[in-house]
Structure 1
Amino acid sequence: MASVLRKALSPSIREIRILCCQTSASSLGTRQFVINTYETIKKANPDLPIMIREAKGTPARAFARFERGVERHVSLEGLDEKSVGEKIGELVSSSSTAA
């Protein structure tokens, strides 16, 4: 897991949404990431809404909403668990350029 996700995230991050398919092989890494790291991220950020949305056929991706309504997203399609963590880490680290 990206080390940035093990600690409290920037207060400019208002919400994280992770979308994936519950059955597709291309969402497997995303599902494994959620199963293995959600609790750690939530413990470090208890007031941050972290929403997991699963729907058949949904491409794996993550969204971060920052202050002033700025929203960014990354594709997680076909990535393994470690790469998913790195991509989400990059996404939440982009908060310094989000205003």
Structure 2
Amino acid sequence: MAWRGNLSKNIKELRLLMCQSSPASASAREFVEKNYKELKTLNPKLPILIRECSGVEPQLWARYDLGVERGIKLEGMTEPQILKALEDLVKAGQSLKA
């Protein structure tokens, strides 16, 4: 899981949108509870924004260089699947630099 320490090298900003109470956002809330502290510790200067809004569809967004953004809808995904989706966004950032 060395890619976790490379978030700030490949991503300029990470945003997580979710509802505070809906069942659709339950795994997104679980993801934040289990992973936020470690991700922030490994990437202290990376903005990791948690946006909560009633009824919003859970999504994960990554902003790269030059304002390029990629987003993933998280509804129906488990916490490990969200972690894999984040890893894929990090790898996408690497390929944008190449």
The alignment's TM-score, normalised by the length of structure 1, stands at 0.89
What is the CA distance between 1:96 and its match in structure 2?
2.4
Two-structure CA RMSD over aligned residues (Å): 1.3
Gaps (5+ residues) in structure 2?
none
* Residue aligning to 2:59: 61
* Residue aligning to 1:76: 74
Gaps (5+ residues) in structure 1?
none
Aligned length: 96
* Structure whose residues are more often helix by fraction: 2
* Residue aligning to 1:51: 49
* Percent of paired sites with the same residue: 38
* Residue aligning to 1:38: 36
The alignment's TM-score, normalised by the length of structure 2, stands at 0.90
Greater mean alpha carbon deviation, residues 38-47 or residues 80-89: 80-89
The verdict on how the C-alpha distance between 1:14 and 1:44 changes in structure 2, with shifts beyond 3 A counting, is same
What letter corresponds to residue 26 of structure 1 in structure 2?
A: A
* Residue aligning to 1:97: 95
What is the CA distance between 1:8 and its match in structure 2?
2.9
